[in-house]
């Protein structure tokens, strides 16, 4: 009979989290300053990426928190991943075509991705005029959140752009365009280690891509002017919080 009661206790604990984990809920209060970033490349170009034979996009399934970027071939297009969703944009005549499901045989030339455990608010950004200002603003917010030295992490920015310039690769040639007064999501990797692994813009600590829902366009972010108040999101570390301490 005692054995039956003990088994019942174990089952109850499994359902109600008895012991030291009781009444604890996951909270995200700390920024992850050194995030895991995957950098794959089919070329041996000495940039410190992991060289692989193929990066088959149809078999590469992004996780729900993943962001990423890179160029693809077959067809040649710009790869942007936001919250686990592909945005593959390529020129089509005088316009663009964006799809969320990779074509059969579509491969990445290189692919940079990061999937944080969770996303947390990184605060609001001031008025931004130019990519250098965006890089600096993200750096400032990261320092406020405890990233005082070298840092490598994914980021997302949801903003109202007064103006921006985007570009995409394509065949036989790429495409470039300007837009004004649009809502935009910007993703990328922040990396101030001065290594070429994550394809930072020369002289900056970011590689930004964008997606504009109203135009259904994704690609490189080449220039930007943002109104003040853009929302920055950075990777968070889940920590155990005790409900009894609230």
Cα 171 vs. chain centroid, distance in angstroms? Answer: 26
pLDDT reported for residue 26: 54
Is there a contact between 96 and 174 (Cβ–Cβ < 8 Å)?
Answer: no
Question: What percent of the chain is predicted at pLDDT more than 90?
Answer: 81
Q: Give tens-digit pLDDT for 80-110.
A: 999 999 999 999 999 999 999 999 999 999 9
Q: pTM of this prediction?
A: 0.86
Which domains can be identified in the chain, with CATH numbers?
31-237 (3.30.1330.80)
Is there a contact between 122 and 145 (Cβ–Cβ < 8 Å)?
Answer: yes
Q: Which residues of the chain have pLDDT under 70?
A: 1-28, 240-246
Going from the C-alpha of 46 to that of each of 64, 73, 136, 195, 200, the distances in angstroms are 31, 21, 28, 11, 15
Q: Which residue has the tokens 């964006």?
A: 98
């Amino acid at each position: 009979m005692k054995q039956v009661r003990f088994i019942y206790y174990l089952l109850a604990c499994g359902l109600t989290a008895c012991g030291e984990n009781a009444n604890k809920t996951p909270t995200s209060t700390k920024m992850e300053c050194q995030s895991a970033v995957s950098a794959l490349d089919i070329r041996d170009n000495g940039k410190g990426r992991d060289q692989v034979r193929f990066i088959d996009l149809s078999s590469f399934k992004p996780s729900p928190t993943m962001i990423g970027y890179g160029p693809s071939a077959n067809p040649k297009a710009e790869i942007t991943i936001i919250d686990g969703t592909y945005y593959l944009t390529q020129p089509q005549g005088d316009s663009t075509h964006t799809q969320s499901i990779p074509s059969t045989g579509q491969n990445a030339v290189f692919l940079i991705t990061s999937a944080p455990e969770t996303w947390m608010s990184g605060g609001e950004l001031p008025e931004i005029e130019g990519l250098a200002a965006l890089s600096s603003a993200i750096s400032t917010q990261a320092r406020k959140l405890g990233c005082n030295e070298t840092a490598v992490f994914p980021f997302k920015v949801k903003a109202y752009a007064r103006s921006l310039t985007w570009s995409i690769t394509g065949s036989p040639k790429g495409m470039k365009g300007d837009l004004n007064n649009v809502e935009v999501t910007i993703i990328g990797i922040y990396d101030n280690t001065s290594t070429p692994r994550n394809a930072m813009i020369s002289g900056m600590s970011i590689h930004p891509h964008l997606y504009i829902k109203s135009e259904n366009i994704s690609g490189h972010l080449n220039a930007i002017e943002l109104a003040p108040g853009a929302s920055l999101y950075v990777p968070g570390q889940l920590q155990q919080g005790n409900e009894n301490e609230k």
